[in-house]
């Protein structure tokens, strides 16, 4: 059974987002854990939380995914940037866990000149503070395209991060199809090889969620430009191959394509039809 959803706005509240997800015939959703370009968040009222839990149960929504804001850079050597990132990952991991969200994903960060190793050290220290508190939520490292000084475009870098934290059992991986393609993992012609490499370096059980995006830019361009499924350089057949792959097909898939809710609903419909035919 395919579990697919899209990135949803929670401007109207979490409960409304869950209802919209069900109305779109989606089975799960991703949403920002706080304002993606700022730092603010609204604490939902107890009534709102209850309505959200009821909606998610009633519609049988699959594992839910919170996405940390883009403004957060846990690799940064700048003290203010770094301490903000540490606060965000610690607070949002706890807040999302309290809501019963299964996963929170974040972009490992950009080292902005201090080097991959020093950046990874910062990420590890920050993650350790977020993992001091007990909880059920898993923190997922997103596979990145490698633009600029971005960390996480090689599976080995994600392994170094996970391997360095005190509680690696609380850390998994979210594979973004646009990003890995852009980073030079050929999921179009060699999906089996890419997954074998993932398994060898990280272990496939660590892979928990997939961001299903096509790519506006060519293979190994190290850019991060999402295209609608089937309208980019990865193409529909390759993305259907990802959805069908036995190592992936039971995972939750999340669209981050440039559409609003009705566009995502149509995209999900198209994917279901193509998978069935």
| Residues engaged in binding Fe ion (CB under 5 A) | 142, 176, 211
Contact between 92 and Zn ion per CB under 5 A: no
Closest separation in Å from C-beta 148 to Zn ion:
13
Q: Count residues near Zn ion (CB under 5 A).
A: 1
Closest separation in Å from C-beta 254 to Zn ion:
11
Query: Interaction with Zn ion in 3-62: which residues (CB under 5 A)?
Result: none
Closest separation in Å from C-beta 105 to Fe ion:
6
Closest separation in Å from C-beta 107 to Zn ion:
8
Task: Please choose which of Zn ion, Fe ion, none residue 224 contacts, taking the beta carbon within 5 to 8 angstroms, the exact cut-off set by kind.
Answer: Zn ion
Contact between 142 and Zn ion per CB under 5 A: no
Binding window for Zn ion (CB under 5 A); candidates: 35-43, 98-106, 118-126, 223-231: 223-231
Contact between 224 and Zn ion per CB under 5 A: yes
Closest separation in Å from C-beta 144 to Fe ion:
8
Closest separation in Å from C-beta 106 to Fe ion:
8
Task: Please choose which of Zn ion, Fe ion, none residue 211 contacts, taking the beta carbon within 5 to 8 angstroms, the exact cut-off set by kind.
Answer: Fe ion
Binding window for Zn ion (CB under 5 A); candidates: 55-63, 75-83, 127-135, 224-232: 224-232
User: What does the block give as tokens for 250?
Assistant: 């039971």
Q: With respect to Fe ion, which residue has the nearer C-beta, 97 or 176? A: 176
Q: Which residue is nearest to Zn ion (CB)?
A: 224
Task: Please choose which of Fe ion, Zn ion, none residue 102 contacts, taking the beta carbon within 5 to 8 angstroms, the exact cut-off set by kind.
Answer: none
**Number of helices (H) and strands (E), helices first, in the chain?**
9, 12
Query: What residues line the site for Zn ion (CB under 5 A)?
Result: 224
């Amino acid at each position: 059974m395919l579990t697919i959803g899209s990135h949803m706005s929670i401007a109207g509240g979490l409960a409304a987002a869950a209802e919209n997800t069900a109305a779109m015939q989606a089975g799960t959703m991703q949403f920002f854990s706080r304002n993606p370009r700022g730092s603010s968040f609204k604490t939902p009222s107890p009534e709102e939380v209850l309505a959200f839990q009821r909606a998610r149960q009633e519609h049988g929504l699959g594992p839910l995914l919170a996405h940390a804001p883009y403004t957060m850079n846990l690799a940064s050597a700048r003290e203010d940037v770094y301490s903000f990132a540490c606060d965000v990952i610690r607070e949002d991991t706890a807040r999302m866990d309290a809501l019963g969200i299964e996963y929170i994903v974040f972009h490992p960060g950009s080292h902005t000149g201090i080097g991959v190793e020093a950046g990874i050290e910062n990420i590890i220290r920050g993650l350790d503070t977020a993992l001091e508190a007990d909880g059920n939520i898993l923190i997922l490292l997103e596979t990145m395209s490698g633009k600029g000084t971005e960390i996480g475009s090689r599976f080995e870098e994600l392994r170094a991060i996970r391997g360095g934290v005190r509680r690696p059992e609380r850390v998994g991986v979210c594979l973004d199809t646009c990003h890995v393609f852009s980073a030079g993992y050929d999921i179009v012609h060699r999906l089996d090889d890419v997954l074998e490499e993932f398994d060898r370096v990280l272990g496939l059980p660590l892979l928990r969620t997939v961001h299903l995006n096509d790519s506006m830019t060519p293979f190994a361009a190290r850019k991060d430009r999402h295209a609608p499924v089937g309208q980019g350089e990865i193409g529909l057949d390759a993305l259907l191959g990802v959805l069908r792959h036995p190592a992936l097909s039971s995972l939750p898939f999340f669209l981050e394509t440039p559409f609003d809710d009705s566009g995502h609903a149509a995209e999900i419909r198209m994917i279901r039809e193509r998978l069935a035919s």
